[in-house]
């Protein structure tokens, strides 16, 4: 039995909204009946009418289409509701994950061709060339190459679990902007430290990895729901604030001592601070209902599946 978040009535069979995570009775289960915050993210109402069976049913004229929709229309693969890429429509989290793994494959291809200079100039944000603006973004999607596969795996786990929650609260566009900006600033912060250490005068240094962005995502959720139960390494239960505090402590310790091997702890800390600040902004400006436990599967809070949660990600430095 649970109480409806709108009317307060006890409900034997409550409904959990997969868009905002709230609990409602039968009268308030529909998003429009409980002023669902997820309604702000339903920004593609025309797409639901494109069944793919009747060409006479149009989602809108070409003049009214957004730039992103025009780009999708130009792709030689069906990106409509029934196409093979339909899963990624309006889903920035999984689109970002796909781009991360595609970038990793491209890294291995370039590395196998033996072009070390090309590799660094395309994929690595370096203290020698921080003016290569494209590397501010490409380095965020790039990761350490095999055999250090856990670098990309851990970052993907964090984004997979926490990304959909943040995207649901802020919308796909703002989520993508948060990911790119936090990742770029985290990398630039790490490179600034390397420049102060004199690495700009050597052929060494540089940073790759999405952990700055991943920790920004974690920081947002930590502010919105600090007591969210997560499972460290899928085994040890703990509140999210404890996991975040532990990662922050480790990052601060290694930044202060200058240790940590090839892990970019400064990038971790910068990304986390950005996420905490943005989470506080969201908390003050939006009325958001948050889940009490992070679920694996089921499409969101309240869905079926067992609990899950990641350990800390790692952004790599060279």
User: Which of 310, 265, 279, 274 shows the shortest CA–CA distance to 158?
Assistant: 310
pLDDT, tens only, 103-159: 999 999 999 887 788 999 999 999 999 999 999 999 999 999 988 899 999 999 999
Q: What is the mean pLDDT of residues 34-56?
A: 54
d(CA 240, CA 237): 9
Asked whether 22 and 301 are in contact (CB, 8 A), the reply is no
With 60 as the cut, is the pLDDT of residue 315 above it?
no
With 60 as the cut, is the pLDDT of residue 218 above it?
yes
Tokens for 89, please give them.
């429509």
- 147 cis-preceded (ω within 30 degrees of 0): yes
This prediction's pTM:
0.68
What is the reported pLDDT for 307?
31
**Mean pLDDT rounded to a whole number for the chain:** 78
What DSSP line would sit under 34-80, residue for residue? TT-GGGGG---GGGGG--SS-TT--S--GGG--HHHHHHHHSSS--S
d(CA 194, CA 198): 7
Q: What is the mean pLDDT of residues 162-177?
A: 90
Q: Which residue has the tokens 């590397």?
A: 135
pLDDT, tens only, 1-31: 677 878 878 777 777 777 777 788 888 888 7
Domains of the chain: 1-37 (4.10.1110.10), 87-285 (1.20.1540.10)
What is the reported pLDDT for 71?
59
Tell whether the torsion through CA atoms of 84, 88, 94 and 97 is positive or negative.
Answer: positive
With 80 as the cut, is the pLDDT of residue 188 above it?
yes
What is the reported pLDDT for 6?
81
């Amino acid at each position: 039995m649970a109480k409806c978040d709108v009317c307060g009535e006890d409900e034997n069979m409550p409904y959990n909204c997969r868009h905002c995570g709230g609990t409602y009775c039968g009268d308030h289960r529909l998003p429009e009946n409980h002023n669902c915050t997820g309604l702000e993210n339903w920004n593609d109402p025309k797409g639901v009418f494109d069944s793919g069976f009747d060409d006479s049913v149009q989602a809108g004229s070409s003049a009214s289409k957004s730039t992103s929709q025009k780009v999708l229309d130009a792709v030689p693969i069906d990106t409509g509701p029934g196409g093979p890429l339909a899963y990624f429509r309006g889903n920035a989290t999984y689109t970002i994950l796909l781009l991360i793994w595609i970038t990793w494959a491209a890294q291995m291809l370039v590395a196998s061709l033996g072009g070390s200079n090309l590799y660094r100039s395309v994929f690595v944000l370096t203290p020698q060339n921080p003016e290569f603006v494209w590397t501010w973004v490409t380095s965020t999607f790039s990761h350490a190459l095999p055999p250090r596969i856990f670098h990309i795996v851990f970052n993907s786990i964090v984004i997979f679990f926490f990304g959909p929650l943040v995207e649901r609260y802020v919308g796909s566009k703002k989520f993508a902007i948060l990911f790119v900006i936090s990742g770029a600033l985290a990398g630039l912060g790490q490179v600034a430290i390397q420049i102060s250490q004199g690495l700009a005068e050597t052929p060494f240094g540089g940073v790759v990895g999405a952990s700055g962005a991943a920790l920004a995502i974690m920081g947002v959720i930590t502010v919105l729901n600090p007591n969210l139960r997560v499972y460290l390494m899928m085994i040890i239960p703990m509140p999210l604030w404890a996991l975040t505090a532990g990662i922050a402590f480790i990052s601060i310790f290694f930044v202060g001592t200058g240790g940590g091997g090839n892990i970019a702890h400064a990038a971790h800390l910068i990304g986390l601070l950005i996420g905490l600040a943005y989470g506080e902004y969201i908390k003050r400006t939006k009325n958001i209902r948050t889940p009490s436990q992070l679920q694996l599967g089921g499409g969101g809070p309240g869905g079926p599946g067992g609990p899950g949660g990641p350990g800390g990600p790692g952004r790599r430095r060279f």
